[in-house]
Amino acid sequence: MPARERLPALNEEAAGERAERVDAPGTDPATSAALAADPATALTLLREGALAVHGRVTDASNAVLYCTVTLDGLTAPCAYKPVAGERPLWDFPDGTLAGREAAAHELSAATGWHLVPPTALRGGPAGPGMVQLWIEPDPDAPELLDLQPLDGVREGWLPVVRAEVEGGLQVWLVHRDDEQLRRLAVLDAVLNNADRKGGHWLSAADGRIYGIDHGVTFHTEPKLRTLLWGWAEQPLTAEALDVLAKLAADLDGPLGERLRPHLTPGELDALRARTAALRTSGRHPLPSREWPSIPWPPV
């Protein structure tokens, strides 16, 4: 039976529990942290391990199943997004979101920043799809987004957009002036990420920030939508310029070959052009006037 026909039954079985708090057997948050720091081992586990479904993220726009993956006695939690569960989009070809997620991980790894958790394409209970190491958010981590008065943005925060709260009060939506978030903003500009919501980054217990949900990336047309506009038009850091130079060289070599199965030739050309444009300008991009620059809903 085709995967698309099997998926509803699989989801119905799993949908009784919210995936964020499923207690899967044999897992430990420390295992995920250790694997995130050892991508080679994590990728072998994700590609070759046995997948078991334990729940579903019920508020995701596409099918996202919470699983464990086990290989040679090692078990870790992961997210599994089957291609059969992808919702059709008007501006992205059907069945390509999982590949874009894998490509985003490849590019993130090439930067050396490792902002995207280890991600692989493989088969699973609902057919081929993306599997990604599950990163459990740290409930005690400092907030990265906030609402602050128009005349009172606190030190260490950057305004993004005006918002209206209960009672008609106007405030700023702000994000932290954080080095890891700034790297993520650069990565998103390269990826052409059309959906960097506030819930699409996670603060982990190891102090690192991870970006997730990269299915709507790598479009040939400018589509950058993000909450990380606080550095707009500011000069890129020297570190970011070095990373962009490395990416430019790698895109004409091994990185380009690794991305080729996931992206069209036009998308690869557009990726090279975005990387070159960032290097030439030396600045974080400005919001577009031709495309909504803030994702909706923002969080």
Asked if residue 276 and residue 154 are part of one domain, the reply reads yes
282, 242 contact by CB (below 8 A): no
Tell me if 297 is assigned to some domain. no
Asked if residue 73 and residue 8 are part of one domain, the reply reads yes
Residues in Cβ contact with 267 at an 8 Å cutoff, skipping those fewer than 6 apart:
218, 219, 220
The rounded distance, in Å, linking the Cα atoms of 107 and 59 is 27
pLDDT in tens, 86-107: 999 999 999 999 999 999 999 9
pLDDT in tens, 70-84: 999 999 999 999 999
pLDDT in tens, 265-299: 999 999 999 999 999 999 999 998 888 899 887 77
Does residue 24 carry a pLDDT above 70? Answer: no
pLDDT in tens, 185-202: 999 999 999 999 998 999
Identify the domain boundary among 69, 98, 133.
133
Give the pLDDT of residue 125: 95
Asked if residue 189 and residue 121 are part of one domain, the reply reads no
Tell me if 290 is assigned to some domain. no
What average pLDDT is seen over the chain?
Answer: 89
Per-residue pLDDT band at 132 (split at 50, 70, 90): very high
Identify the domain boundary among 90, 106, 133.
133
Does residue 2 carry a pLDDT above 60? Answer: no
Asked if residue 265 and residue 232 are part of one domain, the reply reads yes
Q: What is the DSSP string of the chain?
A: --HHHHHHHHHHHHTTSBGGG---TT--HHHHHHHHT-HHHHHHHHHHSEEEEEEE-TT-SS--EEEEEEETTEEEEEEEEEGGGPPP-SSS-TT-HHHHHHHHHHHHHHHT---S--EEEE--TTSSEEEEE---B-TTSPPSEEEEETT-PPTTEEEEEEEE-GGG-EEEEEEE--HHHHHHHHHHHHHT-S-B-GGGEEEBTTS-EEE---SS---SS----BS--TTTTSBPPHHHHHHHHHHHHHHTTHHHHHHTTTS-HHHHHHHHHHHHHHHHH-BPPPPPSSS--S-SS--
How many residues does the structure list for the chain? 299
pLDDT (mean) for 166-177: 91
Asked if residue 180 and residue 126 are part of one domain, the reply reads no
Does residue 204 carry a pLDDT above 50? Answer: yes
Whole domain around residue 192: which residue ranges? 145-281
Distances (CA, A) of 294 to 52, 173, 226, 263: 36, 11, 5, 25
Asked if residue 211 and residue 113 are part of one domain, the reply reads no
Does residue 18 carry a pLDDT above 50? Answer: no
Asked if residue 273 and residue 163 are part of one domain, the reply reads yes
Tell me if 294 is assigned to some domain. no
The rounded distance, in Å, linking the Cα atoms of 261 and 274 is 20
Q: How many domains does the chain have?
A: 2
Asked if residue 156 and residue 118 are part of one domain, the reply reads no
Per-residue pLDDT band at 16 (split at 50, 70, 90): very low
272, 174 contact by CB (below 8 A): no
Identify the domain boundary among 78, 98, 133.
133
Tell me if 276 is assigned to some domain. yes
Tell me if 287 is assigned to some domain. no
Tell me if 207 is assigned to some domain. yes
Residues in Cβ contact with 249 at an 8 Å cutoff, skipping those fewer than 6 apart:
none
Asked if residue 166 and residue 125 are part of one domain, the reply reads no
Per-residue pLDDT band at 15 (split at 50, 70, 90): very low
**Full strand arrangement of the beta sheet holding 170-176:** 145-149, 170-176, 157-164
pLDDT (mean) for 242-252: 97
Asked if residue 269 and residue 155 are part of one domain, the reply reads yes
pLDDT in tens, 40-59: 999 999 999 999 999 998 88
Asked if residue 69 and residue 93 are part of one domain, the reply reads yes
Tell me if 288 is assigned to some domain. no
Give the pLDDT of residue 164: 84
Tell me if 239 is assigned to some domain. yes
134, 49 contact by CB (below 8 A): no
Asked if residue 187 and residue 260 are part of one domain, the reply reads yes
